[in-house]
Amino acid sequence: MSYPIVAQVPEYQVANLSDLENVPITGASPTTGLQVLGGLGKITREQSSAVVTHYNIQPAIDLFATAQDRDLGGIAADVRHLIKATAADAPKGSTVILRGQVTTMDAAFSGLFLGLIGAIALIYLLIVVNFQSWLDPFVIITAPARRPGGDRLDPVRHPHHPVGAGPDRGDHVQGVATANSILVVSFARERLAATGDAAVAAVEGRGHPLPAGVDDRPGHDHRHGADGARSR
């Protein structure tokens, strides 16, 4: 096995080009004798970039920015606005690309939104089959969005929050609210069939007692009932 070994001459011992040319170089075999760096090539002084960066083989210039007392989403929006505003000043043939944690955040939220949309569509179709109606499931699905506490935990309304900061508790609130909405609509349909008056059915359906263990008071933790038991 071969191990690369790097030797460095102290900078204070290399004050000029002559000192640099006299740096000894050991050959592949001890019989080759002593060799110095100046004997292997010509050393000249030139000016160049201290750091050379390439992205996909093309030369690149990196401008680094980090978050300070602000959320990553807000900073990303400001940077995109700045890139768009200065697009005319960019040299011809160059491209400005925003990379880093912003792309990871965008990909994470894109997947989260697609998963939410797919879950909502699947639940809607299941309720359509159960109720044999296209309108009642729409009311059931849209009702939890207006529930107390749902707005504070909805990741769609707060896209700059870190992934996982609130959806877990929000899923509990939305799930129980959807289940309660199904019960309310079912009770209202029963009262509508009995009374024939939609307004009376809506009032009586909302006033129907919920199952045991489900506390529907505003601001109450809907994940637990009065006895602390977990309700689904």
pLDDT at 28: 58
Token pair, residue 148, equals 């107390």
Which pLDDT score, from 0 to 100, does residue 9 have? Answer: 81
Segments of the chain scoring below 70 in pLDDT: 27-32, 143-175, 205-232
The pLDDT assigned to 208 comes to 53
* DSSP per residue, the chain: ----------GGG--SHHHHHT-EEE-SSGGG-EEEGGGTS--------S--EEETTEEE-------SSS-HHHHHHHHHHHHHHTGGGSPTT------SHHHHHHHHHHHHHHHHHHHHHHHHHHHHHHHT-SHHHHHHHHGGGGSTTHHHH-TTT-TTSPTTSSHHHHHHHHHHHHHHHHHHHHHHHHHHHHH--HHHHHHHHHTSPPPTT----TTS-TTB-TTS-B--
Residue 206: per-residue pLDDT: 67
Q: What is the pTM of this model?
A: 0.46
Write down the pLDDT at residue 169.
54
pLDDT the model gives residue 82 = 92
Residue 108: its pLDDT value, please? 92
Write down the pLDDT at residue 91.
87
